Amino acid sequence: MSSEIGYSPKRDDLYSPGKNARFFDGGPPRSEAMLCAEMARLVYCRSASTFAFDEERIGSVLKRVGFTNYQFFETGSTHCLLAQGVKGLGVIAFRGTDADDPTDLGDDADLLLSPWKQGGKVHQGFANAFNEVRLDVENALRRIAGRVLFTGHSLGAAMATLLASVRKPNCLYTFGSPKVGDTDFVDSLNAVPNQRYVDCCDLVARMPPDGFGFAHFGYPHYIDSNRRVTFNPNAEMVDVDQITAREKYFIEYAWKDGNVAVRDLADHAPINYVLPLSAEQS
């Protein structure tokens, strides 16, 4: 790995992203991408005994970086945060899959493509999860007059994408997003400004597999094995880089206690999206 940009192979950073996190460790973010990457990680903070948000901890972090107004939306398997900050900027962040929550895992596994009113067909499990908070979130958005960003990691990225099809944001930022719908759904989003980040070998970013009728929205901002971000690299470059990345991981990390066994899962950890973007602003 690059000695300049951090990387975490730790199981806790993948399966419990909020547990040991130090949010906005380098101070207030200087880019929207950095802000959204950290917000997508922040929403993983939950109470020790339930899946509910740790509102006190999240609120403390938000105030420290200038977000004085915020509200939480939680029902069933879906957890979403709306924060408002300097100059009226609003950020909606959806929590991704919690490995301990069977309802999240059920949403991920429900691969049926179902019709979507805004166009095309979408992953039924993602749609079901999003619809649990959709009306409340839409109502809250109507009260925001300024710039609004949507974001999320993993399942959260999928729900943020569905929200973008219902209400166009100023920009959609996704991290480790699975494919959400078919090509008609993707075409319906053409007017939505977006940045889709993919960390090297991240397995979730390749799901559902080819052959199920799904397509990605937006060209990737690819984080390579040296932790540098490249916009929409060609397939040959990505293939070679992923081979190198897996070899490095096997030698340096796979065998150590407390680490994720394979690079394709470790790369999905939210911190491994935050660190390269933090380096870009330093």
Q: Bigger pLDDT: 248 or 28?
A: 248
Please say if the pLDDT value at position 51 is more than 70.
yes
Please say if the pLDDT value at position 235 is more than 90.
yes
pLDDT given for residue 109 in this prediction: 55
pLDDT tens digits, one per residue of 127-156:
999 999 999 999 999 988 889 999 999 999
Please say if the pLDDT value at position 190 is more than 90.
yes
Contacts of 244 (CB under 8 A, 6+ apart): 225
Please say if the pLDDT value at position 74 is more than 90.
yes
**Residue 6 falls within a domain, yes or no?**
no
The total number of structural domains in the chain stands at: 1
**Residue 1 falls within a domain, yes or no?**
no
**Residue 49 falls within a domain, yes or no?**
yes
Q: What is the CATH number of the domain that holds 110?
A: 3.40.50.1820
Locate 232 and state its tokens: 């929409």
Alpha-carbon distance 17 to 176, whole Å? 14
pLDDT band at 35 (very low <50, low <70, confident <90, very high): very high
b/e string for 115-135 if b means 16 or more Cβ within 10 A?
ebeebbbbbbbbbbbbebbbe
pLDDT given for residue 105 in this prediction: 47
Strand, helix or coil for residue 275: helix
Strands 148-153 and 121-123: unpaired
Percent share of the chain, pLDDT over 70: 94
Q: Bigger pLDDT: 159 or 26?
A: 159
When mean pLDDT is compared across 52-61, 106-115, 187-196, 210-219, the lowest value belongs to 106-115
Nearest to 71 by CA among 91, 49, 100: 91
**Residue 111 falls within a domain, yes or no?**
yes
Alpha-carbon distance 181 to 201, whole Å? 21
pLDDT band at 2 (very low <50, low <70, confident <90, very high): very low
pLDDT given for residue 80 in this prediction: 96
**Residue 4 falls within a domain, yes or no?**
no
**Residue 5 falls within a domain, yes or no?**
no
pLDDT band at 281 (very low <50, low <70, confident <90, very high): low
Kindly provide the residue ranges of all beta strands, DSSP E only, lying in the chain, ordered along the sequence.
Answer: 69-75, 78-84, 90-94, 113-115, 121-123, 148-153, 171-175, 194-199, 220-223, 229-231
Alpha-carbon distance 88 to 186, whole Å? 29
Alpha-carbon distance 89 to 77, whole Å? 27
**Residue 170 falls within a domain, yes or no?**
yes
pLDDT tens digits, one per residue of 81-128:
999 987 789 999 999 977 665 454 445 556 789 999 999 999 999 999
Alpha-carbon distance 33 to 121, whole Å? 28
What's the whole-number average pLDDT of the chain? Answer: 91
Strands 69-75 and 194-199: unpaired
Quick one: how far is CA 212 from the chain centroid? 22
Total-model pTM: 0.94
**Residue 20 falls within a domain, yes or no?**
yes
Q: Which domain holds residue 148?
A: 11-281
Strands 229-231 and 220-223: antiparallel
Please say if the pLDDT value at position 40 is more than 90.
yes
pLDDT given for residue 108 in this prediction: 54
Locate 42 and state its tokens: 């922040």
